[in-house]
Structure 1
């Protein structure tokens, strides 16, 4: 898959210990230990490669809510699509509906939309195949979906 293209992504993180932070204008937040999925879209310059690269390295100047907490998170997986339609809102709803999902931080990554949150907490590591099956069932015109293992070293050069 060409990561230079535009698309939608979900980053799956593990959070080994609780994290307290001030997430910009969102204010104080707390991420408890467990798994978290951050959903977004990359339709600007550089496409998916640029956005994922930003989210997977430290930020000197935080811009997105995730920038304020990613230092305490361990990347596990990236799920992507180069579907030309922005799917971040659909994906947020789909991930939120997975068994064991909750959205304890309202507005995270979702200040410009009506979604409850683009950061979803999971009680256990979510399965990509179940998400993929659900996405195709709910959105029949959905483009191909891809999964990347982020635990095996550098993902983006």
Structure 2
């Protein structure tokens, strides 16, 4: 399966986390949604994100490796890569962006948002994967 995905992540307590070259970022306790794309195999990409034994490569890897962070759910949508940024733009209207997180290859504000509700994902026709 290919398309775009949203990782639902819980930051269990206020934490300052080192995110590679981006440096230290302060995360407020809460629920976050990260938007990504897997145009070859979503299942394999999600399994990588869920794994604790991986080479730290992307911003999201640094976040998920932190002990105060938990991957809770994954939603997906069959869509082209261009919808990854469109979804990030829509989430920016409903959530608080973590500026420049996960978007070094595009002009988006962020691909990670602190949210109050997952309702937006359902409205955008995402389906729950795990």
What's the CA shift string for 1:88-138, capped at 9, x where partnerless?
10111111212xx111x311100110000001012x2322xx4333x3xxx
- Please say if residues 59 and 67 of structure 1, whose CA atoms lie closer than 8 Å, have aligned partners that are also in contact: no
Relative to 1, partners in 2 of residues 1:75 and 1:60: Cα closer, same or farther, differing over 3 Å?
A: closer
Partner residue of 1:36 out of 21, 32, 51: 32
What SS does structure 2 have at the residue aligned with 1:54? Answer: helix
Q: Distance in 2 between matches of 1:74 and 1:50?
A: 19
Structure (1/2) with the larger strand percentage: 2
- TM-score normalized with structure 2 length: 0.87
Which stretch has the larger CA shift, 35-44 or 17-26? Answer: 17-26
Q: Which of the residues 145, 151, 154 maps onto 2:126?
A: 145
Give the TM-score, by structure 1 length.
0.73
Aligned length: 127
- Using a 3 Å threshold, how does the CA distance of structure 1 residues 40 and 14 change in structure 2: closer, same or farther? same
- Give the unaligned 5+ runs of structure 1: 136-143, 151-157
In 2, Cα distance between the equivalents of 1:92 and 1:40? Answer: 9
CA deviation profile, 1:36-62 (whole Å, cap 9, x unmatched)? 111000124xx1011101111214421
Higher mean Cα deviation, 34-43 or 13-22? 13-22
From the superposition, tell whether residues 69 and 59 of structure 1 become closer, same or farther in structure 2 (CA, over 3 Å): farther
Pick closer, same or farther for the CA change 1:68–1:51 going to 2, 3 Å: same
SS for the counterpart of 1:10 is strand
5 Å-filtered alignment, 1:4-153, equals: 5-44=1-40, 47-71=41-65, 72-83=68-79, 85-86=80-81, 87-98=83-94, 101-103=95-97, 105-122=98-115, 124-127=116-119, 130-133=120-123, 135=124, 145-148=126-129, 150=130
Q: Highest CA radius of gyration, 1 or 2?
A: 1
